[in-house]
Amino acid sequence: MVIPHSALDSSLVYQAAPPASMRYFALLYTPAERRDVLAALFVVDAEIRAAARSSSHDVAHTRLRWWRDEIDRLVHGVAQHPATRLLQERHRAPRSSLAKLHELLVAADMDLARMTYLNEREVRAYCARSAGALTQLMAEELLPNDSVDSATLTAANSIGVGIRLTEIVRDLRQDAHEGRIYVPLDELERRAIAPERLDAPELDAGAKEVLALLSRSARTSLLTALPDARTHESLRPLRVLAALHARLLKRIAACNYDVGTERIELSAFQKPWIAWREARRRHP
């Protein structure tokens, strides 16, 4: 089932939030009047991530340069892409706040450069740009104007950090195979683990310890408490994403962090059940 998006081409949404994906369920529990806007944010994020992973460096740089210019056009009210045009028309906050999308481009440049990170603090700083900026913008779209405060936006960013850390744990081998090392180098060095060995089918105990460390950090971020009952209800799509990623971490741990032999995912039954249960959960 594809969730209808009257103002955005369904093929764009399909690529950014495929049916049965975690983002699909986030959109499913988004109020109908805000669903198009969140879908547009997902499309922009997906396009930027895809550009950074292009097989050609020249093509990647060209695509990212176009998106950098497009975000500037969006802020100035002359966007060209269907998703940014929609954001231009329906963004709740001042258009200048959409300049935060440049953070996604900074993270994409880091991906393209295959930057490494000395410690967990640096990894989390990258995640705050790669996903935290997106979840902050989602919060701005979902919250009533009088509920947008620094505490809530900080909580939203923290959820984004947890989401990206979860992806890093899940995708360790694929990322390493592509030359992208996101785990802290100091933790690898402490355990005498060569970064180039992270794409091996069988991870040694030390590598699994590092993944367990990142998983704990991710889970703490995903379980960030929202300030009050109103923000809890308004940010339901973010809570659904956080709950799904937290459960994925539990599944990866139950598989003893064996991410080298297969891509560990939640089952087709687990996702709708977890999303539904979280969507119904009341503020504590």
192 and 202 in a single domain? The answer is yes
145 and 184 in a single domain? The answer is yes
35 and 20 in a single domain? The answer is yes
In a domain, 282, yes or no: no
**Residues in the chain, pLDDT under 50:** 1
* pLDDT given for residue 55 in this prediction: 87
In a domain, 39, yes or no: yes
64 and 177 in a single domain? The answer is no
Q: Are 49 and 15 in contact (CB under 8 A)?
A: no
In a domain, 1, yes or no: no
Interatomic CA distance for residues 173 and 178, integer angstroms? 9
Q: Are 153 and 123 in contact (CB under 8 A)?
A: no
154 and 258 in a single domain? The answer is yes
Which among 184, 180, 190 is positioned nearest to 117, based on CA atoms? Answer: 184
* pLDDT given for residue 1 in this prediction: 47
Domain CATH code at residue 155: 1.10.600.10
Non-local CB neighbours of 26 within 8 Å, separated by 6+ positions: 17, 38, 237, 238, 240, 241, 275
Exposed, middle or buried: residue 125 (CB in 10 Å: 0-12, 13-18, 19+)? middle
Pick from 57, 87, 113: which residue ends a domain?
A: 113
200 and 177 in a single domain? The answer is yes
* pLDDT given for residue 6 in this prediction: 58
* pLDDT given for residue 229 in this prediction: 83
Q: Are 37 and 68 in contact (CB under 8 A)?
A: no
65 and 135 in a single domain? The answer is no
Q: Are 51 and 81 in contact (CB under 8 A)?
A: no
63 and 134 in a single domain? The answer is no
In a domain, 211, yes or no: yes
In a domain, 253, yes or no: yes
175 and 162 in a single domain? The answer is yes
Q: Are 72 and 61 in contact (CB under 8 A)?
A: no
* pLDDT given for residue 28 in this prediction: 95
- Write out the two tokens for 43: 């499309």
Pick from 55, 90, 113: which residue ends a domain?
A: 113
In a domain, 79, yes or no: yes
Pick from 63, 88, 113: which residue ends a domain?
A: 113
92 and 193 in a single domain? The answer is no
Interatomic CA distance for residues 107 and 64, integer angstroms? 11
* pLDDT given for residue 144 in this prediction: 85
102 and 154 in a single domain? The answer is no
Interatomic CA distance for residues 182 and 132, integer angstroms? 16
Domain extent for 195:
114-264
* pLDDT given for residue 272 in this prediction: 97
Number of domains within the chain: 2
* pLDDT given for residue 3 in this prediction: 56
CB atoms within 10 A of CB 15: 14
106 and 122 in a single domain? The answer is no
In a domain, 2, yes or no: no
In a domain, 8, yes or no: no
